Structure 1
Amino acid sequence: MELLAYTSATDAPANPRGLAGVHRDTETALTASGLPVALLRNGWYTENHTGTLRDAVARGVLAGSAGTGRIAFASRAELAEAAARVLTLDGRVGRVYDLTGATAWTLAEVAAEAAAQTGAPVAYEDLPPEAYRGLLTQAGLPAPAVELIVDSDRCIARVALEHPTGDLRALLGRPTETLAAAVARALKE
């Protein structure tokens, strides 16, 4: 049987992030279409905050606007593997998977892990959204990307991405990546 697996956003129906609206609409359209669909609601990618970790270590600061909000990170590789499993296993039509890491971490914990692994001082600097927007703009990011990142951090601060599920672990058949492993991988890349 053929299957369309749509990669959406975690808890798309209730997710407050601006980007989630597009996913809600797409999920609604796909469900109404009658096509054989599985919804893969991907959590926050680990790489969204570890992709610049080497630079953060060099500066001694990991900046953001997420406050003490926790994020149930999952790596892109884990999410891709889960999608491949859904596409190759029977009985997945109509299923909805909220794919997150098993544990939620703060950005302060990410910075502390980077400091522990490198021996360099690294601290999380929580900026007001407007200051974070300015920093990202100054770094040369295009305005739409800046708005997406700032909006996401504001939602993280409001606990929007904190809720781990067991769906990813179940599809992988093993535990999801730990914070220590994610930071070590980011520092090597």
Structure 2
Amino acid sequence: MKIAITGATGQLGHLVIQHLLKLTQAENIVALVRNVDKAENLKAKGIDVRHFDYDSPATLAPALQGVDKILLISANEIGRRTPQHKAVISAAVEAQVPYIAYTSLLRADTSPLGLAQEHRETEQLIHESGLSYTFLRNNWYSENYLAGLAHNIETGILYGAAQNSLISAAPRNDYAEAAANVLLSESHKNKTYELASSTAFTLETLANTISKVSHKTVVYTNLSAEDYKQGLLQAGLPEGLVDVIIEADVEATHGAMLSDRKDLESLLNRQTTPLEETIKPLLM
């Protein structure tokens, strides 16, 4: 069986392939990448690396020849995702790939997050394609809250605008392992999974956990959405990314980032990785 992974050199795609390699032979994996030169390490492992550019639709179907399953990892260009995803789905149909798994967003059908719209549109396109599918609706990555970890420890402050909201974020590696497990089984066809951590946390809990792991005091300081936005912009983050971060925190106060579903636990056959174990490697 040939399993193709889009965005195979990206953060999530690379981890999915690492998990697949633990469970199947390299010859069964197809790495679909925009830049083949960045995939030399995958080639060296015996993985079939193929050029795959969402923005060149005519080249996509040939790259999917002989593929039995494809994992479509959502593209990272917000606002352009739907046409890019549509090109991949159309190519999968043309190449007669019978099954597609897609990394969507937690409760994509009802989520208030602006990001959800393109995920809803992609899920609809997959439904309309007639392909067998699995929707892996990933909640936020824990790492999204740890991007400024070194700075948090240095200043002793973790800023946010989520108040005391509970957040069911899980580490990227857990979502990747779950995706690999789904791809290697035949029991997940036409199912939708809401993927979230076993234990929710507040940003205050996160600050306390950073303190515990780093042995440096870090305190959570809640800001208004506007003050937090200005702080992130002053720190040099691009406005589009800042808007996504702010919206996530604001919507967290309305429960958008919280889930009690145990789908991720079920796919992993274990509890999700605790915050402490997620933070430790980032300090090494």
2:191 is aligned with 1:74: no
2:153 is aligned with 1:57: yes
Q: What's the offset of the Cα at 1:91?
A: 2.3
Q: Secondary structure at the match of 2:255?
A: coil
Equivalent in 140, 143, 164 of residue 260 of structure 2:
164
Q: How many pairs were matched up?
A: 188
Q: Which residue of 2 aligns with 1:25?
A: 121
Q: What's the offset of the Cα at 1:118?
A: 2.3
Q: What's the offset of the Cα at 1:3?
A: 1.9
List alignment gaps of at least 5 residues for structure 1. none
Q: Which runs of 4+ in 1 moved over 4 A?
A: none
Q: What's the offset of the Cα at 1:82?
A: 0.7
Considering Cα pairs closer than 8 Å and 6+ residues apart, tell me whether 1 or 2 has the greater RCO: 1
What do the CA deviations read for 1:23-53 (whole angstroms, capped 9, x no partner)? 1111122112211111000011010002222
2:141 is aligned with 1:45: yes
What do the CA deviations read for 1:126-180 (whole angstroms, capped 9, x no partner)? 1101111101111111111111111111111221111132111111111111122
Q: Secondary structure at the match of 1:17?
A: coil
User: What is the TM-score when the length of structure 1 is the normalising length?
Assistant: 0.95
User: What is the TM-score when the length of structure 2 is the normalising length?
Assistant: 0.64
CA contact (8 A) 1:110 1:183 kept: no
Q: Which residue of 2 aligns with 1:92?
A: 188
Task: Find the aligned partners of 1:177 and 1:51 in 2 and give their Cα distance.
Answer: 18
CA contact (8 A) 1:85 1:171 kept: yes
Amino acid at match of 2:122: T
Task: Find the aligned partners of 2:240 and 2:214 in 1 and give their Cα distance.
Answer: 33
CA RMSD of aligned residues (A): 1.2
Q: Which residue of 2 aligns with 1:144?
A: 240
Amino acid at match of 2:225: P
Q: Which residue of 1 aligns with 2:215?
A: 119
CA contact (8 A) 1:3 1:87 kept: no
List alignment gaps of at least 5 residues for structure 2. 1-67, 69-97
2:132 is aligned with 1:36: yes
Task: Find the aligned partners of 2:135 and 2:213 in 1 and give their Cα distance.
Answer: 36
Task: Find the aligned partners of 2:271 and 2:112 in 1 and give their Cα distance.
Answer: 28
Amino acid at match of 2:159: A
Q: Which residue of 2 aligns with 1:129?
A: 225
Task: Find the aligned partners of 2:136 and 2:183 in 1 and give their Cα distance.
Answer: 11
Task: Find the aligned partners of 1:150 and 1:73 in 2 and give their Cα distance.
Answer: 16
Task: Find the aligned partners of 1:68 and 1:17 in 2 and give their Cα distance.
Answer: 19
Task: Find the aligned partners of 2:172 and 2:216 in 1 and give their Cα distance.
Answer: 27
Q: What's the offset of the Cα at 1:115?
A: 1.2
Q: What's the offset of the Cα at 1:117?
A: 2.2
2:216 is aligned with 1:107: no
Amino acid at match of 1:18: G
CA contact (8 A) 1:51 1:186 kept: no
